[in-house]
Amino acid sequence: MTALRRIAPPSLGQRLHTAPAVTRPLMLDIIEHACRRFPSLEQGERASRIMRLIDAEAWADAALALMELELPMWQVRRIAYNDGEWHCALSRERELPDWLDAAVEARHADLALALLSAFLDVRALAADVTRPSVPSVRPAVRPVPDPLCEPVVCDNFA
């Protein structure tokens, strides 16, 4: 008798990368697993607008509305189509030159999937950064002076 192995489901990022187009179940999985604000706004106008866009299969508009709701500090910096792929860049500082900006970029043959991939990349980036919004203050610890070293002032004030 062989033991059955449980196969882990592919991550949302992998599913987006391999999907040919957005589907309603995929969009609902993204909302369920990657959105923090959406569930708290169940009856809100923004959530109902996103659900109407999903019902109408307006995938790119739904992705943009979801980013607006979930990532208020991020903006679309660039959407471009090149060599059969959509390139999407999200940024916190859109007005900075490209070489100074730390934009998150994603690409896919489908525009909505490129937008959603960038959205998930920003979510993953935010999950990696686990710093509080208010810096913590540590008590000052003074180094123990070395008995063999004595500080000397070397400035010439003459």
CA distance 53 to 40: 19
* Residue 13: both structure tokens together: 């990022």
In this prediction, residue 59 carries a pLDDT of 95
CA atoms within 13 A on the CB side of 91: 17
| pLDDT reported for residue 8 | 45
Q: What integer pLDDT is reported at residue 155 of this predicted model?
A: 73
Q: Mean pLDDT of successive 10-residue segments in the chain (158 residues)?
A: 46 88 93 81 78 95 93 91 94 78 89 94 73 55 64 70
CB 27 within 8 A of CB 79: no
CA geometry: angle 51, 106, 60, nearest 5 deg: 25
pLDDT at residue 92, as a whole number:
87
Give residue 97's pLDDT. Answer: 74
Give strand ranges (E) for the chain: 75-82, 85-91, 104-108
In the DSSP assignment, the letter for residue 75 is E
What is residue 100's predicted lDDT score, i.e. its pLDDT? 74
Are the beta carbons of 88 and 117 closer than 8 angstroms? yes
pLDDT at 150: 67
Can you give the pLDDT at residue 6? 43
According to DSSP, residue 83 is labeled T
